[in-house]
Structure 1
Amino acid sequence: MLDCRGKPVIGSVPVEAAGTRLSARESLAFGVPPAKPGTMFALAVAGGVTMTPRDGRQVLFGRNRPEVHVCVGEDDRKVSRRHGELVYTAEHWWVRNTGRLPLRLPRSRLLFPEEDPLPLAEGYTPLFVRGSGGREHLLELYVSGADGGRPISRHQEVTEPPRTWRLSGDERLALIVLGQRYLLHEARPQPLPWRQAADQLAELRPGQNWGPKRLEHLVSGVRRRLSKAGVAGLTKEEVGEPVGNALNDNLLRELMLSTTLVPPDLAALDGE
């Protein structure tokens, strides 16, 4: 459909001549067609748009199809009618939240209404809009880079192994006990309290003088070692006050994401 000036439109929102409609046939995670560097691709289940970079250009997204470029969560009233916008300025695309609920970006980064916009890196970025009943609506974003094309296929290349962390026998057992709720896939896991974990270690390894202070000292050593190696969120300076369980929570999540600890390690709790 064209507007009165001959521009293609989505609903009643005109797409500038530099932008085109995008059908929801394939995920942007697989890459994008060759395009001018800095071109924005935005795609939801109902379709999307592409937009070449120019200062001041906008891509609007939200529930109200006639008034946005990309419709997200059309049947979900928890999604705002205009929930956010992508704006090109200062040689970057920026995402701003104009809705009521936060947007979720990679690494669990939440962008709240009225916060400063965040710049988008080149390549693929999944953005989630929280809806009703635990639903999350996906908006896929892709900013084309200098090569302007799809990633190179590497079907036959050897898979890169994850970077696992070296642990001593005592460190491994202590962290399995401390992080057993994570290994059990509980919905909202937390580390065991020091006393409870130390008592369980004393049962598993009698005669080794396990106590809360020894356990805390051992785990702190692992955090320091991984922090020096570049793992974020393992120091009080990074987390801020109140610290609570944040340091050990971040440590245990890193150990699981890196496959240093895996669910079969729970066999150690049975003395195996």
Structure 2
Amino acid sequence: MSLLPKDIGTLSRGVPPARTGTLFVLGANGGMSVAPGTDFTLLFGRNEPDVHVCVGVGDTCVSRRQGVISRTYARWVLTNTGKLPIRFPGSRLVLNGDRVELTSGYTPLFVVSPRQEHLLEVRIVAAQPRAAGAAGAPEAYEQDTSDREPRRLTPEERLVLVCLGRRYLQNDPQPQPLTWAQAAFELGGLRPGEKWGPSRAAHIVSKVRARLSRDHGVPGLVEDEVPQPVGNALNHNLITDLLVTTTLTKADLPLLEPPPGTPPQP
């Protein structure tokens, strides 16, 4: 067992070298890794003194001990011991008392609170294919593989989407996408030499929604799939997909820092 510091970033882009089957779990205040041969049950929840990994700190709707991850018959199994459901990528909910086997690779889990969804990152090191003629080679290690491929974005699309969804990345209790006017104002401050208006930001995001709907079948990104009034639903669904697929992470927030020497906006 070993502790993971708070500033490790995200597990979506790889983990330190570790044996196949090693469990990594990361919450808001850091995390822990557990080797597969260890007889150890990892506890997670909002009350730091009672758990190994914190999730939902400050949200009293989250249970002090929301769940456990234990080793059962050579598999890592998650059990929801709390009152709130835990959402897997997509819409699958694990309710109180339910047990679910975790798969190798990266899995973002979300404790679904009425106030917000709290992210708990889980990664299980997967065995890598042996190279031809490598019989008897040492056990493989995982560096930067993921079962869920992030969406491809251009640098401009990433900048606009990080700006649009910054409240989600900053753990706002009730996040909503920025309005087009707000996004254009912030982008204009970040790139004062360019002309940013609401229509330009809207056009860029609309193209991304159409592409992900067409090429990846992501639901809820076009008006025909969302009941009226549409409101922020299309952009909310887009940002949710980008977060679940780790296309956008907290590591993208520095994109919103103004260049050195940029005068403050009025």
Q: C-alpha displacement at 1:23, in angstroms?
A: 0.8
The count of corresponding residues between Structure 1 and Structure 2 is: 154
| Counterpart residue number, 2:127 | 146
Q: C-alpha displacement at 1:28, in angstroms?
A: 0.4
Contact 1:77–1:131 (8 Å) recurs in 2: no
**Pairing 1:29–2:22 present:** no
1:183-222 alignment, distance < 5 Å? 184=230, 187=233
| Counterpart residue number, 1:88 | 71
Distance 2:120 2:226 in 1: 34
Give SS of 1:48's match: strand
Q: C-alpha displacement at 1:129, in angstroms?
A: 1.1
Distance 1:20 1:180 in 2: 45
TM-score by length of 2: 0.51
Root-mean-square deviation over aligned CA pairs: 3.0
**Pairing 1:45–2:28 present:** yes
Distance 2:214 2:42 in 1: 40
| Counterpart residue number, 2:40 | 57
| Counterpart residue number, 1:208 | none
Contact 1:84–1:96 (8 Å) recurs in 2: yes
TM-score by length of 1: 0.50
| Counterpart residue number, 1:264 | none
Q: Which of 75, 86, 97 is 1:103 aligned to?
A: 86
Contact 1:61–1:69 (8 Å) recurs in 2: yes
Contact 2:45–2:51 (8 Å) recurs in 1: yes
Give SS of 1:66's match: helix
| Counterpart residue number, 2:196 | none
Relative contact order higher in (CA < 8 Å, ≥ 6 apart): 2
Relative to structure 1, the CA distance from residue 182 to residue 152 in structure 2 (aligned partners, 3 Å threshold; closer, same or farther) is farther
Distance 2:53 2:44 in 1: 5
| Counterpart residue number, 2:168 | none
Distance 1:38 1:152 in 2: 14
Distance 1:142 1:110 in 2: 19
Read off the aligned partner of 1:21 and give its amino acid letter: L
Over 3 Å off, 4+ runs:
159-165, 176-188
Q: Which runs of 5+ in 1 are unaligned?
A: 1-18, 154-158, 166-175, 189-252, 254-272
**Pairing 1:181–2:174 present:** no
Give SS of 2:120's match: strand
Contact 1:55–1:90 (8 Å) recurs in 2: no
| Counterpart residue number, 1:125 | 107
**Pairing 1:78–2:50 present:** no
Relative to structure 1, the CA distance from residue 107 to residue 180 in structure 2 (aligned partners, 3 Å threshold; closer, same or farther) is closer
Q: C-alpha displacement at 1:55, in angstroms?
A: 6.5
Give SS of 2:58's match: coil
Relative to structure 1, the CA distance from residue 182 to residue 119 in structure 2 (aligned partners, 3 Å threshold; closer, same or farther) is farther
Q: Which has the larger radius of gyration?
A: 1
Relative to structure 1, the CA distance from residue 60 to residue 184 in structure 2 (aligned partners, 3 Å threshold; closer, same or farther) is same
